């Protein structure tokens, strides 16, 4: 039975043309016999033909039913419909182009954002069993990490990493590279094997162990020219010779850090490795399979407790909070990405509404054709299917075009990406993105094709014919849908516009925050003195002093240096003690930023001194120690006191205090970000530095000459003093400020472009509706004018509906915006999501766009010639 059915279907499908002919022959034969019969019974030939036809019913309909019961009709009609659709679409290129372009914009924008969401939020981390990986919030020291690993059972392994600059020398110019100081457990934890050679083993990861290095692929490629026999060779890093034992695979990346080479912390920096109370390592953990996070967290809390008891001075306030690695990586960008994804979905809805209206307008234009086909026996279902074929075909073509638009869009996104997305080097169009485009196109085509098709098929033929007879009444049955679409479009556009407006306002607020310094015309460069050649502070101080003197001798150039620049993301924090204040419990003293400076730092950065004096050449070695604090320091630690003359020092466990005297108060500087509060800071002269590890410094140079030439001159001066010191991090202070708000700018630019797209689409939508109405009411307007209506009256008549719907949409949009913009709180800076000025502003803007979109087509009504309009009836 089943086999018979299948063979039957197959045969019919194979013999498609023959089957069709046979069906024709069979039915024709029937009609002829019936006609014969009537003729023989005495009927006239013509009457007999008519009678036979009438009795038989719709020939097309019967054929359709026959095809259907033969079971091949679906494929067959699809092919037929596609053929028919392609032909009709090619006949109306303007319509086709409009529809495809509209959808390409909507789908393209969605696809671009989806591919970022896909890559950032949905893609699994590039490590085996990534669901087992955890990260700790906050940093820790290697001894603590080792203790926890020893005393817990929940973890397969754990590892720590800290990135410090290293100097790679020996091939051309010295280069500053990112050195990853790690322990042996890190790679067992991440679970990635080197492509060549091996990882640092546990027995090598000890104080005095062999100086081995594992390279990343880019380092191996760029500096060692893909040398396949690199294993066992020696390279020079920060004045030490390291043996290459491994090269990581090409696609390997660390979870969050950027690194070029990996060395053992115990081998490369044993002092730091042994330091329990300096928490500078990112730590990663791999859970044993099946162990729940809560259990691991509970276990680790017990160890934390034991550590706090054993080392109350330093470990009392620390605690390990574990979070799934994926969460830790994308938690910050998720809200912004989801908001953008939501926004771009609204854009697609608007594009779809326009698409539906285009289809409706086209259906009306083709009404006569449809009526004729319906009266020839084509069933409603068949007509709907044909129109769905058309809308789906258009949507798929639109989707394909959208894919191309998305490709261009992602290139743009990559150029704009903020630091939080810095791992996003490429946005590949993977299978998921293709599925997304396909699904979204198909859905768009079916859903938004069905709307107008359904609304058009409801009316029976007689009604359609009647409507066709009097053009003034045409489309009455479709008005509610069209009005709904226009209203919805404007409401959605308003919501997007409100979101964009809020982000713009927040961004302008952020940019108008005074950073506390003047970034204009300041260029910065980072240097680090190699510890091997500059182990003692006096050598470091001499180098700094000499370099500054040389640069300051350039005409029109002023230079100074500081340990860490504002907005660059770093500072060294110390606990501080204020002389004369009640002694606080060890480990609870306030933490302040500590910054070392040399030269006229405040003058070059134009940071105002609020009171006291600046450092002078006299504040140098073997002189009384001095410090300048910021206003936040005074506010928080010396409220209501005159800070000048107050003595402070870092907390020291052993040595007696060597007090620094506060000689001045500098204006607050936004060190951690324009949207971050200012923390207390202490500036001290480099020349009185007593920490030999402060080997790094950033030059700040204000110049009246073009910066580009200056950079080379400064490099030459550095290398004339020491040819092995890399000069890196060359950027202007302006760029640094811009980079610090890159995430905010990224959000704002994207939402603004989506809003602009939405407004343009909505404008086109309402324009189309008004133009269509004017077209349909030519006769009515002609009569109106013939009766003596003024231009103003005609304009009002033509614009009335559009403006009314527009205002309704704007009103609904305002309500929607107030409800929806709440989700944006996390990405807004000092702006309430219901900021009235913004809401009113965007409503007015959209109202203006609406008026314009109504006015342009309405003006066409004025050119209607009453006589022509009346005659055309």
Partner 1 sequence: MPSQSIDLPQGTLDLLILRTLSLEPLHGWAVSERIQQISSDVLRVQQGSLYPALHRLERRGWIKARWGTSQNNRRAKFYEITKAGRRELEIEQHAWQKLTAAVSQILETA
Q: How far apart are the first and last CA of the chain?
A: 61
Judge whether 212 and 241 are in contact, CB under 8 Å.
no
Exactly one of 16, 39, 71, 636 binds partner 1 (CB under 8 A); that residue is 71
- Rounded to whole angstroms, the Cα distance separating 661 from 647 reads 4
Exactly one of 16, 49, 50, 58 binds partner 1 (CB under 8 A); that residue is 58
- Rounded to whole angstroms, the Cα distance separating 827 from 845 reads 23
Q: What is the largest CA-CA distance in the chain?
A: 136
Closer Cβ to partner 1, 40 or 622, answer by number: 40
Residue 662: strand, helix, or coil: strand
Closer Cβ to partner 1, 5 or 830, answer by number: 5
Closer Cβ to partner 1, 55 or 865, answer by number: 55
Exactly one of 24, 25, 313, 691 binds partner 1 (CB under 8 A); that residue is 25
Closer Cβ to partner 1, 324 or 377, answer by number: 377
Judge whether 348 and 109 are in contact, CB under 8 Å.
yes
Neighbours of 640 (CB within 10 A): 6
Exactly one of 22, 47, 309, 313 binds partner 1 (CB under 8 A); that residue is 22
Closer Cβ to partner 1, 62 or 644, answer by number: 62
Exactly one of 14, 21, 30, 692 binds partner 1 (CB under 8 A); that residue is 30
- Rounded to whole angstroms, the Cα distance separating 791 from 804 reads 19
Using rule CB under 8 A, residue 4 touches partner 1: yes
Using rule CB under 8 A, residue 139 touches partner 1: no
From the CB of 380, what's the least distance to partner 1, in Å? 17
Q: What is the DSSP string of 321-337?
A: EEEEHHHHHHTTTHHHH
Closer Cβ to partner 1, 21 or 868, answer by number: 21
Judge whether 854 and 769 are in contact, CB under 8 Å.
no
Closer Cβ to partner 1, 27 or 557, answer by number: 27
Judge whether 607 and 517 are in contact, CB under 8 Å.
yes
Exactly one of 16, 20, 27, 210 binds partner 1 (CB under 8 A); that residue is 27
Using rule CB under 8 A, residue 294 touches partner 1: no
- Rounded to whole angstroms, the Cα distance separating 268 from 270 reads 6
Stretch that binds partner 1, among 28-36, 336-344, 522-530, 761-769 (CB under 8 A): 28-36
Kindly state the tokens that stand for 426: 């490429």
Size of the site for partner 1 (CB under 8 A): 27
Judge whether 239 and 168 are in contact, CB under 8 Å.
no
Stretch that binds partner 1, among 68-76, 411-419, 513-521, 631-639 (CB under 8 A): 68-76
Using rule CB under 8 A, residue 675 touches partner 1: no
Closer Cβ to partner 1, 61 or 471, answer by number: 61
Using rule CB under 8 A, residue 26 touches partner 1: yes
Exactly one of 16, 70, 373, 860 binds partner 1 (CB under 8 A); that residue is 70
Stretch that binds partner 1, among 64-72, 448-456, 767-775, 798-806 (CB under 8 A): 64-72
Using rule CB under 8 A, residue 66 touches partner 1: yes
Closer Cβ to partner 1, 65 or 865, answer by number: 65
Using rule CB under 8 A, residue 873 touches partner 1: no
Kindly state the tokens that stand for 79: 């092919």
Closer Cβ to partner 1, 30 or 716, answer by number: 30
Stretch that binds partner 1, among 5-13, 306-314, 663-671, 751-759 (CB under 8 A): 5-13
From the CB of 799, what's the least distance to partner 1, in Å? 51
Using rule CB under 8 A, residue 83 touches partner 1: no
Residue 41: exposed, middle, or buried by beta-carbon count in 10 A (0-12, 13-18, 19+)? exposed
Using rule CB under 8 A, residue 61 touches partner 1: yes
From the CB of 481, what's the least distance to partner 1, in Å? 34
Task: Tell the residue number behind the tokens 């929940």, with chain if given.
Answer: 154
- Rounded to whole angstroms, the Cα distance separating 460 from 386 reads 17
Judge whether 258 and 178 are in contact, CB under 8 Å.
yes
- Rounded to whole angstroms, the Cα distance separating 42 from 45 reads 9
Using rule CB under 8 A, residue 173 touches partner 1: no
Closer Cβ to partner 1, 73 or 778, answer by number: 73
Judge whether 821 and 477 are in contact, CB under 8 Å.
no
From the CB of 849, what's the least distance to partner 1, in Å? 55
- Rounded to whole angstroms, the Cα distance separating 506 from 656 reads 49
Closer Cβ to partner 1, 23 or 808, answer by number: 23
Closer Cβ to partner 1, 58 or 590, answer by number: 58
Exactly one of 14, 24, 33, 233 binds partner 1 (CB under 8 A); that residue is 33
Using rule CB under 8 A, residue 569 touches partner 1: no
Closer Cβ to partner 1, 62 or 481, answer by number: 62
Exactly one of 39, 43, 49, 62 binds partner 1 (CB under 8 A); that residue is 62
- Rounded to whole angstroms, the Cα distance separating 340 from 336 reads 6
Using rule CB under 8 A, residue 74 touches partner 1: no
Closer Cβ to partner 1, 2 or 46, answer by number: 2
Using rule CB under 8 A, residue 47 touches partner 1: no
Exactly one of 55, 327, 735, 873 binds partner 1 (CB under 8 A); that residue is 55
H helix and E strand count, the chain: 30, 21
- Count of residues for the chain? 873
Exactly one of 44, 57, 443, 852 binds partner 1 (CB under 8 A); that residue is 57
From the CB of 38, what's the least distance to partner 1, in Å? 11
Residue 587: exposed, middle, or buried by beta-carbon count in 10 A (0-12, 13-18, 19+)? middle
- Rounded to whole angstroms, the Cα distance separating 866 from 782 reads 4
β-strand partners of 222:
none
Residue 563: exposed, middle, or buried by beta-carbon count in 10 A (0-12, 13-18, 19+)? buried
Kindly state the tokens that stand for 804: 């009314």
From the CB of 347, what's the least distance to partner 1, in Å? 47
Using rule CB under 8 A, residue 8 touches partner 1: yes
Stretch that binds partner 1, among 23-31, 507-515, 676-684, 685-693 (CB under 8 A): 23-31
From the CB of 79, what's the least distance to partner 1, in Å? 20
Considering only CA atoms, which of 109, 95, 96, 102 is closest in space to residue 354? 102
Judge whether 478 and 455 are in contact, CB under 8 Å.
yes
Task: Using the Cα atoms of residue 470, residue 472, residue 474 and residue 478 in order, give the sign of their dihedral.
Answer: negative
Using rule CB under 8 A, residue 1 touches partner 1: yes
Using rule CB under 8 A, residue 88 touches partner 1: no
From the CB of 496, what's the least distance to partner 1, in Å? 52
- Rounded to whole angstroms, the Cα distance separating 285 from 476 reads 67
Query: Which H, E and C letters describe 616-641, residue by residue?
Result: CCCCCCCCCCEEEEEHHHHHHHCCCC
Kindly state the tokens that stand for 45: 């030939």
Residue 262: strand, helix, or coil: strand
Phi, psi dihedral angles at 446 (to 5 degrees):
-70, -50
Exactly one of 68, 204, 257, 793 binds partner 1 (CB under 8 A); that residue is 68
From the CB of 41, what's the least distance to partner 1, in Å? 10
From the CB of 74, what's the least distance to partner 1, in Å? 14
Binding mask 622-641 for partner 1 (x = CB under 8 A): --------------------
Exactly one of 24, 45, 47, 65 binds partner 1 (CB under 8 A); that residue is 65
Considering only CA atoms, which of 631, 666, 659, 630 is closest in space to residue 645? 659
- Rounded to whole angstroms, the Cα distance separating 28 from 263 reads 89
- The 8-class DSSP code of residue 124 comes to P
Binding site for partner 1 (CB under 8 A): 1, 4-5, 8-9, 22, 25-27, 29-30, 32-34, 36, 55-58, 61-62, 65-66, 68-71
């Amino acid at each position: 039975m089943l086999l018979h059915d299948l063979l039957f279907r197959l045969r019919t499908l194979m013999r498609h043309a023959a089957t069709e002919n046979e069906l024709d022959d069979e039915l024709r034969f029937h009609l002829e016999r019936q006609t014969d019969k009537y003729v023989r019974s005495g009927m006239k030939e013509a009457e007999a033909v008519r009678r036979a036809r009438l009795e038989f019913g719709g020939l097309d309909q019967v054929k359709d039913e026959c095809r259907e019961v033969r079971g091949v009709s679906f494929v067959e009609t699809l092919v037929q419909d596609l053929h028919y659709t392609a032909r009709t679409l090619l006949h109306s290129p303007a319509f086709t182009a409009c529809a495809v372009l509209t959808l390409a914009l909507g789908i393209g924008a969605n696809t671009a954002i989806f591919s970022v969401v896909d890559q950032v939020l949905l893609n699994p981390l590039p490590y085996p069993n990534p669901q087992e990986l955890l990260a700790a919030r906050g940093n820790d020291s290697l001894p603590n990490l080792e203790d926890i690993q020893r005393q817990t059972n929940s973890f397969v392994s754990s590892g720590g990493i800290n990135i410090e600059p290293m100097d790679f020398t020996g091939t051309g110019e010295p280069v500053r590279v990112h050195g990853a100081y790690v322990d042996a457990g890190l790679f067992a934890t991440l679970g990635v094997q080197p492509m060549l050679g091996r990882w640092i083993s546990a027995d090598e990861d000890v104080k005095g162990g062999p100086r081995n290095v594992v390279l990343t692929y880019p380092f191996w490629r760029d500096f060692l020219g893909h040398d396949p026999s690199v294993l066992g060779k020696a390279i020079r890093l920060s004045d030490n010779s390291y043996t290459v034992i491994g090269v990581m695979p090409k696609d390997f990346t660390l979870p969050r850090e950027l690194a070029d080479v990996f060395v053992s912390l115990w081998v490369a920096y044993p002092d730091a490795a042994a330091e329990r109370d300096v928490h500078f390592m990112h730590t990663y953990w791999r859970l044993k399979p099946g162990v729940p996070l809560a259990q691991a967290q509970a276990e680790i809390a017990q160890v934390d407790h034991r550590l706090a008891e054993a080392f109350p001075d330093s470990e009392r306030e620390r605690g390990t909070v574990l979070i799934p690695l994926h969460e830790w990586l994308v938690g910050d960008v998720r809200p912004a990405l989801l908001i953008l994804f939501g926004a771009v979905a609204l854009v697609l809805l608007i594009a779809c509404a326009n698409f539906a209206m285009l289809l409706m307008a086209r259906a009306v234009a083709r009404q006569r054709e449809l009526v004729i086909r319906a009266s020839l026996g084509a069933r409603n279902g068949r007509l709907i299917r044909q129109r769905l074929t058309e809308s789906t075909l258009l949507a798929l073509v639109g989707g394909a075009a959208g894919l191309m638009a998305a490709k261009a869009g992602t290139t743009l996104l990559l150029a704009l990406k903020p630091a939080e997305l810095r791992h996003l080097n490429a946005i590949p169009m993977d299978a998921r993105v293709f599925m997304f485009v396909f699904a979204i196109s198909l859905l768009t085509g079916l859903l938004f094709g069905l709307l107008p098709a359904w609304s058009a098929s409801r009316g029976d033929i007689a009604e359609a014919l009647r409507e066709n007879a009097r053009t003034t009444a045409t489309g009455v049955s479709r008005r509610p849908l069209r009005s709904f679409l226009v209203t919805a479009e404007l409401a959605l556009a308003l919501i997007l516009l409100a979101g964009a407006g809020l982000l713009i306002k927040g961004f302008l607020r952020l940019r108008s925050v005074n950073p506390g310094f003047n970034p204009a015309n300041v260029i910065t460069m980072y240097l680090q003195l190699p510890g091997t050649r500059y182990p003692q502070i006096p050598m470091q101080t001499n180098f700094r002093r000499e370099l500054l003197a040389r640069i300051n001798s350039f005409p029109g150039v002023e230079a100074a240096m500081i340990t860490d620049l504002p907005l660059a993301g770093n500072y060294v924090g110390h606990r501080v003690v204020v002389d004369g204040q009640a002694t606080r419990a060890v480990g609870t003293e306030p933490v302040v930023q500590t910054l070392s400076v040399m030269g006229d730092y405040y003058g070059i950065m134009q940071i105002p001194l609020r009171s006291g004096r600046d450092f002078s050449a006299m504040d140098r070695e073997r002189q009384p120690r001095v410090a300048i604090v910021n206003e936040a320091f005074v506010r928080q630690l010396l409220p209501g006191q005159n800070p000048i003359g107050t003595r402070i020092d870092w907390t020291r466990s052993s040595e007696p205090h060597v007090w620094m005297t506060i000689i001045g108060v500098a204006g607050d500087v936004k060190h951690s970000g324009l949207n971050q509060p200012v923390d207390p800071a202490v500036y001290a002269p480099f020349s009185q530095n007593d920490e030999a590890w402060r080997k790094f410094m950033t030059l700040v140079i204000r110049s009246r000459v073009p910066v580009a030439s200056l950079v080379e001159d400064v490099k030459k001066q550095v290398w004339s003093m020491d040819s092995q010191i890399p000069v890196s991090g060359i950027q202007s202070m302006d760029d640094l400020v811009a980079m610090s708000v890159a995430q905010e700018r990224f959000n704002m630019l994207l939402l603004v472009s989506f809003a602009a797209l939405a407004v343009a689409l909505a404008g086109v939508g309402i324009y189309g509706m008004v133009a269509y109405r004017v077209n349909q009411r030519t006769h009515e307007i002609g009569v109106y004018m013939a009766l003596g209506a003024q231009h103003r009256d005609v304009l009002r008549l033509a614009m009335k509906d559009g403006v009314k719907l527009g205002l309704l949409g704007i009103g609904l949009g305002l309500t929607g915006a107030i409800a929806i913009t709440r989700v944006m709180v996390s990405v807004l800076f000092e702006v309430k999501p219901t900021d009235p000025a913004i809401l009113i502003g965007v409503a007015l803007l959209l109202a203006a766009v609406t008026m314009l979109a109504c006015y342009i087509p309405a003006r066409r009504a004025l050119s209607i010639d009453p006589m022509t309009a009346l005659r055309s009836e």
